[in-house]
Amino acid sequence: MYGLIGKFRAHRGKRDALVRAMLDDDTPIPGCISFVVAHDLSDPDAVWITEVWDSQESHKASLKMPSVKASIERAMPLIAKFDKQVETVPVGGIGLPKI
C-alpha cells in the first residue's frame, strides 16, 4: 500500500470552497482505498488530506484521469500554500485490507 498525508492552506476564507472543490466529484478512482479531507481545528484556512492507495503506481495513474485533473484545476486557485506532504506505507487499520 501507499499513503500520502498533506496539509494545504486555502486563501483566507476559502477553505470551504477548497473542500468542495476536492470532494465535488465522486467518480471511482482505481486503486484508491481511502481519500479523506479534514479541517484543521487550529487553523481556519487549513485542510489535511489523507490518502491510501493500493500502490504508488495507482496514485500516479489517477493524476492522468480527466475527473482528477478537473478536481485539481478547481482546487489550485483556492490553495495559498502547500504546507506539508509526507509519503507513508499504511500497514493496516479499519477499512484497510489485511496485508
pLDDT at 95: 87
Residue 38 lies in domain: 2-88
Residue 99 lies in a domain: no
Q: Does an H or E element contain 60, and which?
A: helix 56-62
Q: How confident is the model at residue 99 (pLDDT cuts 50, 70, 90)?
A: confident
Q: What are the beta bridge partners of residue 2? A: 53
Q: What pTM does this model have?
A: 0.90
**CATH code at position 10:** 3.30.70.100
pLDDT digits (tens, 9 = 90+) for 49-58: 999 999 999 9
Per the structure, the count of domains in the chain is 1
- pLDDT, tens digit (0-9, with 9 covering 90-100), for 8-28: 999 999 999 999 999 988 889
From 65, 60, 52, 19, select the one nearest 8 (Cα to Cα). Answer: 19
Q: Report if residue 57 sits inside a domain.
A: yes
Q: What is the grid cell recorded at 9?
A: 492552506
Q: Are 44 and 81 in contact (CB under 8 A)?
A: no
